[in-house]
Amino acid sequence: MPEIKNTSRKIVKLMQGNEACTIGALAAGLDFYAGYPITPSTEIAEICAEELPKVGGRFIQMEDEIGSIAAIIGASLTGRKTMTATSGPGFSLMQELIGYAALCEIPIVIVNVMRVGPSTGMPTSTAQGDVMQARWGTHGDHPIIALAPGNVRECFDLTLRAFDLAEKYRVPVIVLTDEVIGHMREKVELPEPRSIHPLKRKAPSSRAGYKPYAADPEGGVPLMAPFGEGYRWHVTGLYHDESGFPTQKPAVADTLIRRLQKKVDLNVDDICEYASESLDDCEVAVVSFGSSAMSALSAVRRARTEGIKAGFLRLKTLWPFPEKVVASLGSHAKRVIVAEMNLGQVALEVERIIGTTSGGRSKVERLGKVNGELFHPEEVFNAIRGNT
């Protein structure tokens, strides 16, 4: 493990995705981790257990994933930067409290290194089947942000960014990687630690008249007072008014849930990121994310060398869904192929967007893979060529 603090030297290293994820979290100021180990995410817990005590942080191995997410929610309320990491079965157990964090506006980061599901599935094999669960796994309308790193360096970048987004909007942020990205090792050059400036949580300036759930005029996100510094406020999973105390009043309830949703809806351009190649003149576009996108890019590059006008779009943000860039594909691509290791979860969104914006000029094709293996570039290439 490289030392990441107090150095101006760049780090060039053979690094694993899970390791890069953890170093990104530490660079963001992670100082509290609670988790329950599960393949293929376990390296994150192992490295946190080793590194956090060195920087004055805390690591707790909890009794299960419900305890883990409860612990990081509690720690976040005291001003800590908190994270847990898991995979499908653990992510399922965390759903109830993801909703609690969303409603109570408690910043947390959850890394889900996806494996084949449902249930215990194939623990050591890769999948991308938790896309919709990340969005809708907990009950009720709620804001959520989910990011999908596409290589080891991005595991660092997007975990760091996950903390900033969690603090800025006070929403739970999910980093969705998968077994291939999490376990893959590649040459990585990390930015100089001194060039990293993680976002600080905006705190209130006065205890007098503090309303924990009153939207700050600047940005619309309430200011969060850390427990233990003399502020008194009430945190509940019941609908609440600006004081934090429960309410059943329809008007207050309506205002609350719409305000929560708007924190994300009004900031889609700030949150959404993507990478692309050869989109401008493409006739066939391939949309993908995470490890599938590596196969897709390889296939698109090959198609170009064979004279096929193929383009590549990789979504780095899955939720909120990057609608604008997907809609732009419909203006020139006759075919849009969605390559993902599930049976069409991102495709559902792409179909909705292309269907409503392209006026029938563009057709969406699903390319799903669910056998635990990463796409071979040939499979994506054959889809581009049109002989699946």
Partner 1 sequence: MRVEFRLSGSGGQGLLLAGIVLAEAAIREGKNAVQTQSYGPEARGGSSKAEVVISESDIDYPKATDPDFLLALTQEAYSTYGPLMGKGLIIIDSSVETDPDIRARTVCLPILETAATKVGKKVVANIVALGVLGGLSGVASAATLADAVRERVPKGTEELNVKALEAGLALAASSK
Q: Which residues bind partner 1 (CB under 8 A)?
A: 12-14, 39, 122-125, 180, 183-187, 291, 294-295, 297-298, 301, 374, 376-378
Of 199, 204, 135, 158, which is closest to residue 346 (Cα–Cα)?
A: 135
Q: How far is the CB of 53 from partner 1 (least distance, A)?
A: 20
Q: Alpha-carbon distance 121 to 88, whole Å?
A: 9
Q: Using DSSP, state whether 198 is helix, strand or coil.
A: coil
Amino acid at 228: G
Measured from the CB atom, is 364 or 380 closer to partner 1? 380
Q: How far is the CB of 12 from partner 1 (least distance, A)?
A: 8
Q: How far is the CB of 372 from partner 1 (least distance, A)?
A: 9
Measured from the CB atom, is 136 or 274 closer to partner 1? 274
Measured from the CB atom, is 226 or 372 closer to partner 1? 372
Measured from the CB atom, is 50 or 378 closer to partner 1? 378
Structure tokens at 58: 């805390």
List beta partners, residue 68: none
Measured from the CB atom, is 50 or 141 closer to partner 1? 50
**Cβ–Cβ < 8 Å for 306, 131:** no
Q: How far is the CB of 82 from partner 1 (least distance, A)?
A: 30
Q: How many CB atoms lie within 10 A of CB 308?
A: 17
Q: Alpha-carbon distance 163 to 30, whole Å?
A: 8
Q: How far is the CB of 291 from partner 1 (least distance, A)?
A: 8
Q: Give me the residue label for tokens 């809806």.
A: 265
Measured from the CB atom, is 110 or 294 closer to partner 1? 294
Helices (H), the chain: 17-28, 42-51, 65-77, 88-104, 131-136, 152-169, 179-183, 250-265, 268-271, 292-305, 323-329, 345-357, 377-385
**Cβ–Cβ < 8 Å for 141, 261:** yes
Q: Which residues lie below 8 Å from residue 306, measured CB to CB, with a gap of 6+?
A: none
Q: How far is the CB of 14 from partner 1 (least distance, A)?
A: 5
Q: How far is the CB of 61 from partner 1 (least distance, A)?
A: 19
Measured from the CB atom, is 201 or 304 closer to partner 1? 304
Q: Which residues lie below 8 Å from residue 249, measured CB to CB, with a gap of 6+?
A: 241
Q: Alpha-carbon distance 128 to 145, whole Å?
A: 16
What would you report as the CA-atom Rg of the chain, rounded to the nearest whole angstrom?
Answer: 21
Measured from the CB atom, is 103 or 114 closer to partner 1? 114
Measured from the CB atom, is 121 or 355 closer to partner 1? 121
Q: How far is the CB of 117 from partner 1 (least distance, A)?
A: 14
**∠ at Cα 197 (194, 202), nearest 5°?**
150
**Cβ–Cβ < 8 Å for 329, 313:** yes
Q: How far is the CB of 179 from partner 1 (least distance, A)?
A: 9
